[in-house]
């Protein structure tokens, strides 16, 4: 067997740990995001329907990303696509809670204050984008490896 073929053949017996680890890193950076987003001292801004949705989304995100991290180990195309979708949604989230909270102003005795300052806002966006990058990369790698493996096993069965 030549090196390229060995590389393909290895896929039959090894797990897609790279994509799986990327999915876990996506979860990790999402955790950094949500522990940061709720820790501002912004009066009762977060006691709203928006934040309820945000909490539920974070829970669902972690559930499905973890499921994907397991499923993608076996080169599952479905979980790879799911991971890409999750990644895209992470990018979309930038324009929801962090952006809205950054634009909102809360009136206190000291005057009008932003709910989220510029520094925190930047940090939140970075966390979400890194999380999205890991999820999308993991998913794309999963799709590519799935195709290589499928093609290789198809050739094997023809032989």
Partner 1 sequence: MAELKLQNLNKIYDNNVQAVFDFNLDVKDGELIVLVGPSGCGKSTTLRMVAGLEDISSGHLILDGKDITTMPPKDRDMAMVFQNYALYGHMTVYENMAFSLNLRKENKNVIHEKVLAAAEILGLTDQLNKKPSQLSGGQRQRVAMGRAIVRTPKVFLFDEPLSNLDAKLRGSTRREILLLHKRLKATMLYVTHDQTEALTLADRIVCMSMGHVQQIGTPLELYDDPANLFVASFIGLPPMNFFDVKVSGGELICDSFKVSLSNEQKALLSSYEGKEITLGVRPEDTVEGGNIDMTVFSNENLGQTTLVHGHLSKHRITCKFRSWCNYKAGDALKIGFTKMHFFDKETTNAIK
Q: Which stretch binds partner 1 (CB under 8 A): 4-12, 83-91, 102-110, 134-142?
A: 4-12
* Site pattern 54..93 for partner 1 (x: CB under 8 A): ----------------------------------------
Using rule CB under 8 A, residue 155 touches partner 1: no
Using rule CB under 8 A, residue 13 touches partner 1: yes
Using rule CB under 8 A, residue 7 touches partner 1: yes
Out of 1, 109, 110, 119, the only residue in the binding site for partner 1 (CB under 8 A) is 1
* Cα distances (angstroms) measured from residue 66 to each of 27, 72, 156: 8, 10, 32
> Least distance (Å) from partner 1 to the CB of residue 149?
13
> Least distance (Å) from partner 1 to the CB of residue 17?
11
> Least distance (Å) from partner 1 to the CB of residue 58?
29
Using rule CB under 8 A, residue 10 touches partner 1: yes
**Listed residue (1, 39, 58, 28) closest to 120, CA to CA:** 39
Of residues 25-54, those binding partner 1 (CB under 8 A): none
Q: Between 74 and 100, name the residue whose CB sits nearer to partner 1.
A: 74
**Listed residue (59, 61, 119) closest to 88, CA to CA:** 61
Q: Between 2 and 118, name the residue whose CB sits nearer to partner 1.
A: 2
For the chain, give the DSSP string: --HHHHHHHHTTTS--HHHHHHHHHHHHHHHHHHHHHT-S--TTTTSSHHHHHHHHHHHHHHHHHHHHHHHGGGT-HHHHHHHHHHHHHHHHHTTTHHHHHHH-EEEETTEEEESS-HHHHHHHHHHHHHHHHHHHHHHHHHHHHHHHHHHHHHHHHH-
How many residues bind partner 1 (CB under 8 A)? The answer is 9
């Amino acid at each position: 067997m030549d090196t390229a073929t060995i590389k393909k053949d290895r896929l039959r017996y090894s797990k897609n740990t790279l994509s799986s680890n990327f999915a876990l890193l996506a979860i990790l950076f999402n955790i950094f995001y949500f522990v940061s987003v709720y820790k501002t001292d912004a009066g009762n801004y977060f006691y709203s329907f928006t934040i309820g949705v945000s909490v539920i989304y974070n829970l669902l995100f972690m559930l499905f990303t973890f499921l994907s991290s397991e499923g993608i180990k076996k080169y599952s195309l479905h979980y790879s696509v799911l991971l890409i979708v999750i990644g895209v949604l992470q990018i979309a989230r930038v324009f929801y809670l962090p952006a809205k909270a950054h634009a909102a102003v809360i009136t206190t005795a000291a005057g009008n204050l932003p709910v989220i300052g510029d520094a925190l806002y930047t940090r939140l966006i970075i966390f979400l984008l890194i999380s999205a990058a890991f999820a999308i990369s993991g998913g794309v790698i999963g799709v590519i490896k799935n195709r290589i493996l499928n093609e290789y096993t198809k050739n094997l069965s023809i032989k």
